[in-house]
Amino acid sequence: MNIILLGPPGAGKGTQAQRLQAERGMIQLSTGDMLRAAVASGSPVGLKAKAVMEAGELVSDAIVSALIGERLDDMGEAGAIFDGYPRTLAQAEALDLLLAERHRKLDYVVELCVNEDALVERITGRFTCAQCGAGYHDTFKRPKVENTCDVCGSHDFKRRPDDNEETVRTRLAEYRAKTAPILPYYEQRGLVRRVDGMGTPDAVAAEIDAILDS
């Protein structure tokens, strides 16, 4: 089974992809992770990507497609979870071709729908222990003892510099602008399913499982 997970930054795509990998043996294909791995490996595609990124330019669709094609060839029979790709109509069409060439098909496009104001609160309130990486939130998950990590006892915490309201709202606007054209492309083929991305991770997982098992 091959699926696309859609949703803005912070919607929980990564959490759900990791769960699907652990429970169903599917493989998450995140273009960002794949680019970094290809550059580190020094593969022909990786060297091309490295040159483009070092020049401060965006990696072309052709390079991204080549990376995904390589990864699909290495996966055997495992199902793919596309995370962060496709972002444009051209990429969606390229993905159809990549899958067809390997006798695969896209089964579902699962969109994690979110309330943007609530998502801003979810993201901007996040912080982690600087020592062990345990995650916390200003509103939803504070340490049991103020300024003390529940896991390792450290008093040192940190926040991602881009977890601020202005940046988050910019990322949400970018997601809407880029994703809007590809949803109708998949909707006309009856592939789109929507889940409530504001639920707990377990509730979202249950909705996704119901779709994949239907």
Q: Which residues are catalytic?
A: 13, 87, 126, 160, 171
Distance of alpha carbon 48 from alpha carbon 38, whole angstroms: 10
Distance of alpha carbon 84 from alpha carbon 171, whole angstroms: 13
Write the DSSP symbol of residue 148: B
Strands 108-113 and 3-6: parallel
Cross-strand partners of 135: 128
HSE of 131, CA atoms in CB hemisphere, 13 A: 10
Q: What would the two tokens of residue 98 be? A: 């990549």
The DSSP result for 17-83, as a single string, is HHHHHHHH--EEEEHHHHHHHHHHHT-HHHHHHHHHHHTT-PPPHHHHHHHHHHHHHHSTT--EEEE
